[in-house]
Amino acid sequence: MIGVGYFTAILVVSEVGDVGRFRGDKEFTSWMGLTPSVSQPGERTRIGGVSGPSNKKLL
């Protein structure tokens, strides 16, 4: 089973606070820095790595 450990979950919950402030999962994952960069020059789509946490405490 893959998931988040107990202490990581506590850290995320303490940093996020009220999850209701996000409009949806895409906004939440973007805030977390888990959304990959996407570039579409012309007909080709390039998907890069994730940007990393926006919140430096989540590094």
Domain assignment present for residue 30? The answer is yes
- pTM of this prediction? 0.59
Domain assignment present for residue 13? The answer is yes
Domain assignment present for residue 17? The answer is yes
Count up the domains in the chain and report the number: 1
State which residues form the domain around 22: 6-58
Cβ 16 vs Cβ 34: under 8 Å: no
Domain assignment present for residue 22? The answer is yes
Domain assignment present for residue 14? The answer is yes
In angstroms, what CA-CA distances link 41 with 38, 45, 48?
Answer: 10, 7, 13
Domain assignment present for residue 1? The answer is no
Residue range 17-51, pLDDT digits in tens: 898 999 998 888 888 877 788 888 888 888 877 76
Domain assignment present for residue 52? The answer is yes
